[in-house]
Chain A
Amino acid sequence: MVRRVRTARPIPGGMRWLSPALILSVGLIYYCIFYSGYLSTFSWRGGRTPMKPVGLDNYVKALESPVFWQAIIHTLVFFVVVYTVQVLGGVAFSAAMHSGIKFATLYKVIIFTPVVIAPAIMAPAHIQVWSSGGTVNAILDRLGLASLAQSWIGQSSTSLMVVTAVQCWGAVGFGFLLYHAAMGQIDNDILEAARLDGAGNIRTLFSVILPNVRGTTVSLGILNFITALKLFDNPWLLTQGGPAHSSEFLGTMIYSEVAGQSRNIGYASALSMILLVIAIVISVVMSVWGRERPPRAPSRRQAKRAERKVLTSKATERHRPPALAANKGGDA
């Protein structure tokens, strides 16, 4: 009789190990969401003031408010511009830096430093750049375009543009980092084959490089959308959502309702719930859309290389979360 070697089963008793993460993260986050849903049915100024139940009035108020719709439009404009600039800048810089340029590390440090510094710390500098006596106007003056000089931050026609530009300043480096890593994994054989077939640089970029980094482009899209939805730091620090709500975002609206003078915690909670629903719907839609046309199947050699290089990306295949997700690192 052959004694079967018992294949070791996983060690029991794992719940104990799981509980810190579950209690803290799932507990706190789900508690907040349910509590927020509950609070959103009241009109409440916080503290000891009475909580007046109002049903769904806060949601109606939000959907009827022009400021809310303005904030949604700002979010969309902001998303489209920042995403475009990030993809174009990221691809251009990383392609250039993979092409044997000198001082690549120096350039990399210059465009990546803005990703690392907190927006809150850089804000005073950005304000000086865009203020009426600031650097942008000085440069325009030097170029003989003094007539274009204006108070960029202080007027409602340009305040959104300033917030967007400042965000782009920090976002390009992040896009660059991801594209740089993704392009580093493209097999040289493919590039050489393209070249032997007579493809020029432009053709190689569009037909070989970009299809191979499609995954990065999709992830950046989701990350950027979530960043735009939750945006608070830059608009608050630069313009406080003003003047006259011209750079208002959902994040600044919620903050003003929680911490501002005329606060209404119920309304803030209703706005939070709306934001949450949009975030979930959009990230599910985008990750489904991102999977529809998978990038070309990599060659075996390429796959092997990729496996060796990126341990983390395995996460994609094995445990793809429902909402292929955006991380908080995506503030960039």
Chain B
Amino acid sequence: MLEIRGKFRKIALQVVVTIAVIPFLIPIYTMIARSLEGRGWSNYLQVLKVPGFGRFFLNSALIATGSITIVYLATMMAAYAFSKLRVRFKEVYFWMLMAALTLPEVVLIAPLYVTAVRTGMLGTYWAVILPVAALQIPFTTLIARSYVDGIPDALFEAARIDGANAWRVFWNILVPLAKPIAVALGVLVLINAWNSYLLPKMFLINDDMGTVTLLPEFFKRQYNDDTPKVLAAAVLTALPEVLAYILLQKQFERGMAAGALK
């Protein structure tokens, strides 16, 4: 891109970039350093021993799995219909879906809260999974449709001529061929579901239903602002996410980038 000639300039650029990334490390450094204050690593042991610690991860995994499954099925089916099937007023439905793209989730919490209370969904996982999924579907459908548009119609016709019904065509042609985009979108939904804070805070009112994003508050109550332990808990909570990112860099980056390619 830029042309950096000469050894001195190359070193200078390297030094500048190194200094520029330091601010990104400061909070992480602080988190780790202060989590070891007091009794060192035994802070971590004590956090791990707190009953119900694993439960938060389980809950987050449950919500992420639920959202991903629902979004995946709804998206792929919709992409199939929008791209390859005959539907009356297809584009009208598409635009209705697309109008929901910009919707900020805070707009939903007042009506959702009232509805959840009235239908008895308050304090169930559905109260989080359904809105999380509903908010992702417009976007994932947009991306998946344009991907499926790129798969030649001839493949679908050939399968039809061979006597496959719509279901078989869906499972044997569309699903395998759309795998790359499904992985990217899956990662995007995973990150959004795992990191969601407002909806779980609003709707998962029992402690044993809390997600990982509610862990810091749980530990603050538990330890009465014993900072090292609160931070040790934060490190342990962030760790799986950071590891997952480092191991799956490509998928994470594609998933996040999909979020803006429009």
Contact = CB atoms under 8 A, between A and B. Distances in A.
B104 A229 contact: yes
Contacts of B198: 232-233, 251, 255
Chain A contact-residue range equals 35 or more
Nearest to B75: A21
Contacts of B202: 255, 258-259
A18 B249 CA distance: 33
B134 A219 contact: no
Contacts of A226: 102, 104
A125 B102 contact: no
B246 to A, nearest CB: 6
A96 B99 contact: no
Contact of B135 (A33, A328, A332): A328
B189 to A, nearest CB: 9
A143 interface: no
A98 B249 CA distance: 18
Chain B binding surface SS class:
helix
Contacts of A52: none
A230 B113 contact: no
B258 A312 contact: yes
Contact of A124 (B101, B156, B194, B216): B216
Interface in A120-163: 120-126, 128-129, 134-135
Interface in A90-126: 92-93, 95-102, 105, 107, 109-126
Chain A binding surface SS class:
helix
Contacts of B130: 24, 28
Given A117-B241, A181-B257, A325-B102, A312 B143 contact: yes
A105 B180 CA distance: 23
A186 B104 CA distance: 33
Contacts of B3: 99, 195, 201
Nearest to B245: A116
B63 to A, nearest CB: 13
B87 A331 contact: no
Given A110-B21, A115-B256, A177-B256, A328 B85 contact: no
A118 B147 contact: no
Given A99-B2, A209-B1, A118 B146 contact: no
B27 A126 contact: yes
A20 B69 CA distance: 12
A250 B106 contact: yes
A82 interface: no
Contacts of B98: 319, 321-323, 325
Contact of A101 (B13, B135, B245): B13
Nearest to B147: A311
A107 B13 CA distance: 13
Contact of B81 (A15, A97, A173, A275): A15
A265 interface: yes
Nearest to B27: A125
Contacts, number: 383
Contact of A219 (B95, B214, B231, B262): B262
A280 interface: yes
B3 to A, nearest CB: 6
Interface string B223-262: 0000100110010011001100110010011011111111
Given A93-B20, A318-B146, A321-B99, A21 B181 contact: no
Interface string B15-54: 0110011011111111100100000000000000000000
Given A254-B106, A321-B95, A269 B111 contact: yes
Contacts of B188: 329
Contacts of B252: 112, 116
B82 to A, nearest CB: 7
B65 interface: no
A267 B23 CA distance: 40
Contact of B110 (A118, A269, A321): A269
B30 to A, nearest CB: 5
A223 interface: yes
Contacts of A323: 98-99, 101-102
A272 B107 contact: yes
A80 B260 CA distance: 19
A276 B104 contact: yes
A27 to B, nearest CB: 8
B84 interface: yes
Given A15-B81, A329-B260, A29 B117 contact: no
A232 to B, nearest CB: 5
A230 B109 contact: no
Interface string B121-139: 0000000001101111111
Interface in B62-121: 70, 73-75, 77-78, 80-82, 84-88, 90, 93-115, 117
Contact of B97 (A21, A204, A220): A21
B204 interface: no
B96 A258 contact: no
A315 B139 CA distance: 10
Nearest 4 A-B pairs (CB), nearest first? A329-B259, A14-B85, A230-B104, A325-B101
